[in-house]
Structure 1
Amino acid sequence: MLVDGERTGLTAYRDRGEQRVFHHTEIDDVVAGQGLASRLVQEALTDVRNSGKRIVPARPWVAKFLKGHEEFADITDPVRSDVLRWLDTEPG
């Protein structure tokens, strides 16, 4: 995410077949509390829908966001132990 041309946040993911596994989200303190993290995740998840993939919220921030946004429930997969092992062992 860019604000005034400066990177202020990101949500990191890795694709695993038809799943997009979100494993990290961060927002710089300078823009915290402005609703930008929600906007960042909203746009990232909309991109997942548009790409035809499925969401796997492997870390807490995206999972928390999804609890309040049922519009993504139809493309969300549970975080299973095999996905977590994959994250830990696959390069990238």
Structure 2
Amino acid sequence: MSEQLQEIEFEDHGAKGRYVIRAPNGEEAEMTFVKVGDDQIIIDHTGVPDAFRGQGAGLRLVTRAVHDARAAGKKIIPLCPFAAAQFRRHPEWADVLKS
């Protein structure tokens, strides 16, 4: 399954969106967000099923959001406890963290 973790899909649903990793058995690890204007997103949820645990799926999802935000010049507000913890562990992401 770790090869599947390389493929993170981005879904844009207008004011909301998500990053998702799909396992061959159909399970999904996801990180959802809400857009705030044109230059900010709020990460509001990260869900990682047991099938993904211990494989870094949650970190990969947040890392992808950081990469995309940086490329688009956006800031991130990590309301999700998991995402907030990752921002504390990764000071190199400070440039995209909304203070």
TM range (shorter): 0.7 to 0.9
Match of 1:52 in 2: 73
In structure 2, runs of 5+ residues without a counterpart are 1-20
Using structure 1 for the length normalisation, give the TM-score. 0.75
- Residue of 78, 85, 90 corresponding to 1:64: 85
Aligned equivalents of 1:40 and 1:3: distance in 2? 14
Q: CA deviation at 1:47?
A: 1.0
In structure 1, runs of 5+ residues without a counterpart are 79-92
Q: Is the 8 A contact 2:66 2:96 kept in 1?
A: no
Aligned equivalents of 2:51 and 2:90: distance in 1? 26
- Percentage of pairs with the same residue: 31
Q: Does 1:30 align with 2:51?
A: yes
| Deviations, residues 18-68 of structure 1 (Å, cap 9, x unaligned) | 111111110111111111111111112111111211010112111000111
Q: Does 1:4 align with 2:21?
A: no
Aligned equivalents of 1:5 and 1:47: distance in 2? 27
Higher helix share: 1
Q: Is the 8 A contact 2:41 2:76 kept in 1?
A: yes
Match of 1:13 in 2: 33
Higher strand share: 2
Match of 1:81 in 2: none
Matched residue pairs, number?
78
